[in-house]
Chains A and B, each alone.
Chain A
Amino acid sequence: MNGKTATIESFKDFVTFIRAELKPKGRIFTIFNVISAPIILLGAILIVYRLAKGLGYPVTNLSQDFPWGIWIGFDVMTGVAFAGGAYVLTFVVYVLGAKKYHPIIRATVLNGFLAYVFYTGAIFLDCGRWWNIVNPIIGNKFGVNSVLFLVAWHFLLYMLTALVEFSPAIAEWLGWKKIRKILGSLTLGAVIFGITLSTLHQSGLGALVMMAKWKIHPLWYTEFIPVLFFISSIFAGLSMVIFEGTISHKVFSQQIDEEHHRSYDDILVGLGKICAVAMFGYFFLKVLVFIHGRHWSLINTPMGYWYLLELIGFVLIPCFIFVQGVKDRNLLSIRVAAILTMAGIIINRLNYVFIAYKWYVPMSERYFPTWIEIVITLAIVFAEIWVFRWIVNRMPVLKESPEWAREE
């Protein structure tokens, strides 16, 4: 499959080619497949059930007190933060011209693009009146004063932008030389537009909860939520890149050439460096916000301990592990730090959506996801991985571009 360079000219060629590519490659009964396939199947059935039944119990545990659960808190809020690696890395590679990170750029952009497609797909499930979901786009009244209006448009535009960024790989796969040239020339423009959009919607996700002023615990509520969301998306995204890359490099090992394998350690150390700096900045901001808020008295409460655990256990400590890992060039440390950081981001985003949100509601009336919410979420994650794998096995994502398309 590596030697495929034939150009596709006629429509008939195209159909035969796509047909051949649609067939599965590699072993079918892997552990991952055996676990994920039934979950995706069950998830698909449950999605139909949700559309037929509405959002109430037994589908979700959402209530009048807790309008948002894990479909918003995990899939959208956390998923989009994890997809932030795409805008950070395109900034480093295409704007700053740091060629070192070039080998992982396509996988990262692809991952970002798919994350947006699948996780914003979760919005569709979460919307009670999903058949109206195109209203903000088609102009059935524009709510231009709404933060969510901005976020919705940005999601859509960013998806298109990420697709343009990734499109040269598709053209190379299809052997479309002229189109590849045109698409390649769009990259810098798309990257700049994409970074601008990302800045605004990563922070915009935080701005969504600004009007829940007294419902969010004062240790978490600050007027700087949008800034905190933006900065945390930098290290959230890069930690995801480290995590995903670690797995990809094992699973797709035979696709990656010698040179890339050798440079990969350098790349990881570099990513760890950026994470450490961004996390220190984030921690510093959090401390500033805390001191200005004069919330000392709240620290010695259950929510205070929870706050400290998040800030120290899942920001400061992974930040130190990153620093140590970079110093010693210890890849294991960097990977551990990335996983801790990701856990911290999940906790942080869920805090804003249902943990520190209405913290005063007694335990018995609090939101906890149902098994259906969890299965559908897992199904979405697995489906994304399946599509990712399908593309990586066919297009030049991790493997070298075909001879005719090499840059410079």
Chain B
Amino acid sequence: MDRREFLKTIGIGIGGVACGDILTPSIVKAQNAFEVNEFFGVLVDTTRCIGCMRCEMACAEAHNLPLPDISNDSVFEKKRNTTETRWTVVNRYETEKGKIFVKQQCMHCNQPACVAACLVKAMKKRKEAHVTWDTNCIGCRLCMVSCPFDMPKFEYNSPFPKIQKCNLCWDRFQEGKLPACVEACPVEALKFGARRDILDEANSRIFQNPHNYVHRVYGGHEVGGTSYIYLSAVPFEQIGFRGDLGTTPYPEFTTGFLYAVPFVFVLWPLILLGMNRATRREED
């Protein structure tokens, strides 16, 4: 191998490695993911919840939202949804096993539809689990259309509106604090921890008290898994959950289309140009 040949080979080699890095970022990223990524989450045991609404109060205090009146329980007469100023609500359901209280908030999906919907990455899935919102949002509301749990809420009555929803207390998390609702719960209906650990905990509660629970951890696999997971004494459909959301992560419903895009972009111009040449008359 003479010197020129050698330099050429080296050059191609370096170039190839550089290109390879650009062309295969997903492989590199996947390796990083194995090292650090473990989602946190909250286990909600609906058999323990007493409907005191202190989680609602704590949430409002932690995020400077209007404080709810938790002194009387007439609010339970009608099912409430979360709103732009109430990021978590507790509802009461009449079931075959009596009254059951269920806390509701953003589920913090492992692969959130809202994040896949966002064209400016204003919705962001943090590697610790939190799904947060950022101010570069354009307010298109596709996240609301896409979310299987209808959680992102929009400030319709503001000229400078934001998307509002539970952010799993992202600010408190960075200060090393528990989510406000978890900290406020007096009966340990809420438990914060690594998602893997609270899933184990949920399964072991079912295993140890098989007659107290339906044998399903909601959020374990639904829509590809969520960071909020639930235990219940009655089928989840009776306490306001959709049982038929499936286990497919929602972003996958658009991947079929997105994968077709590069094909169309390459094939269409070629086919069209070919058609044009083939149908053109000789004298033109």
Is A64 within 8 A of B153, CB to CB? yes
* Residues of chain B contacted by A397 (CB below 8 angstroms): none
Is B280 within 8 A of A97, CB to CB? yes
User: What is the CB-to-nearest-CB distance from B84 to chain A, in angstroms, rounded to a whole number?
Assistant: 8
**B144, B253, B275 — which one has the most chain A CB atoms within 10 A of its CB?**
B253
Answer whether residue B185 sits at the interface, using C-beta atoms and an 8 A cutoff. no
Write the chain A residue with the least CB distance to B246. A213
Write the chain B residue with the least CB distance to A149. B119
A55-B161, A64-B150, A147-B254 are contacts. A127–B138 as well, Cβ < 8 Å?
Answer: yes
Cα distance, A96 to B272, chains bound together (Å): 9
B144 touches which of A53, A67, A150, A196 (Cβ 8 Å): A67
Is A214 within 8 A of B120, CB to CB? no
Answer whether residue A402 sits at the interface, using C-beta atoms and an 8 A cutoff. no
Answer whether residue A223 sits at the interface, using C-beta atoms and an 8 A cutoff. yes
**B119, B250, B265 — which one has the most chain A CB atoms within 10 A of its CB?**
B119
* Residues of chain B contacted by A203 (CB below 8 angstroms): 257
Answer whether residue B178 sits at the interface, using C-beta atoms and an 8 A cutoff. no
What 0/1 pattern do residues 235 to 258 of B give for CB contact below 8 A with A?
A: 000000010110000110110111
Cα distance, A16 to B209, chains bound together (Å): 89
Answer whether residue B264 sits at the interface, using C-beta atoms and an 8 A cutoff. yes
A54-B156, A91-B272, A135-B138 are contacts. A211–B244 as well, Cβ < 8 Å?
Answer: no
User: What is the CB-to-nearest-CB distance from A328 to chain B, in angstroms, rounded to a whole number?
Assistant: 30
A196-B265, A211-B116 are contacts. A67–B154 as well, Cβ < 8 Å?
Answer: yes
Is B276 within 8 A of A211, CB to CB? no
User: What is the CB-to-nearest-CB distance from A201 to chain B, in angstroms, rounded to a whole number?
Assistant: 10
User: What is the CB-to-nearest-CB distance from A155 to chain B, in angstroms, rounded to a whole number?
Assistant: 12
Cα distance, A96 to B280, chains bound together (Å): 8
Answer whether residue A290 sits at the interface, using C-beta atoms and an 8 A cutoff. no
Stretch at the interface among A138-146, A280-288, A292-300, A304-312: A138-146
**B81, B118, B139 — which one has the most chain A CB atoms within 10 A of its CB?**
B139
User: What is the CB-to-nearest-CB distance from A321 to chain B, in angstroms, rounded to a whole number?
Assistant: 30
What 0/1 pattern do residues 214 to 238 of B give for CB contact below 8 A with A?
A: 0000000000000000000000000
Is A62 within 8 A of B116, CB to CB? no
**B142, B251, B260, B264 — which one has the most chain A CB atoms within 10 A of its CB?**
B142
Is B120 within 8 A of A132, CB to CB? yes
B161 touches which of A65, A128, A192, A226 (Cβ 8 Å): A128
Is B145 within 8 A of A68, CB to CB? yes
Is A213 within 8 A of B118, CB to CB? no
Answer whether residue B269 sits at the interface, using C-beta atoms and an 8 A cutoff. yes
Cα distance, A238 to B260, chains bound together (Å): 25
Is A141 within 8 A of B261, CB to CB? no
Write the chain A residue with the least CB distance to B272. A192
Is B81 within 8 A of A213, CB to CB? no
A145-B251, A196-B265, A211-B113 are contacts. A53–B159 as well, Cβ < 8 Å?
Answer: yes
Answer whether residue B169 sits at the interface, using C-beta atoms and an 8 A cutoff. no
* Residues of chain B contacted by A199 (CB below 8 angstroms): 264, 268
What 0/1 pattern do residues 144 to 183 of B give for CB contact below 8 A with A?
A: 1111101001111111110000000000000000000000
Is A129 within 8 A of B113, CB to CB? no
Cα distance, A63 to B264, chains bound together (Å): 37
B268 touches which of A96, A196, A226 (Cβ 8 Å): A196
Within 8 A of B (CB), among A139-169: 140-143, 145-150, 152
A65-B150, A96-B275 are contacts. A204–B257 as well, Cβ < 8 Å?
Answer: yes
Is A132 within 8 A of B138, CB to CB? yes
A91-B272, A146-B119, A192-B269 are contacts. A211–B150 as well, Cβ < 8 Å?
Answer: no
Is B245 within 8 A of A214, CB to CB? yes
Answer whether residue B122 sits at the interface, using C-beta atoms and an 8 A cutoff. yes
Is A145 within 8 A of B136, CB to CB? no
* Residues of chain A contacted by B118 (CB below 8 angstroms): 143, 146, 148
Answer whether residue A94 sits at the interface, using C-beta atoms and an 8 A cutoff. yes
**B137, B147, B159 — which one has the most chain A CB atoms within 10 A of its CB?**
B159
B residues engaging A (CB < 8 A)?
81, 83-84, 113, 116-122, 136-142, 144-148, 150, 153-161, 242, 244-245, 250-251, 253-254, 256-258, 260-261, 264-265, 268-269, 272-273, 275-276, 279-281
Q: A147-B254, A214-B245 are in contact. List 8 more A-B contacts (CB 8 A).
A: A55-B154, A67-B154, A96-B276, A96-B279, A123-B140, A196-B269, A208-B145, A226-B257
Can you sample 22 A-B contacts with CB below 8 Å? A54-B161, A56-B158, A57-B156, A62-B156, A64-B154, A67-B154, A95-B275, A126-B140, A128-B138, A128-B156, A129-B139, A141-B122, A146-B117, A146-B118, A147-B117, A147-B254, A147-B257, A148-B119, A196-B269, A209-B145, A212-B146, A213-B148
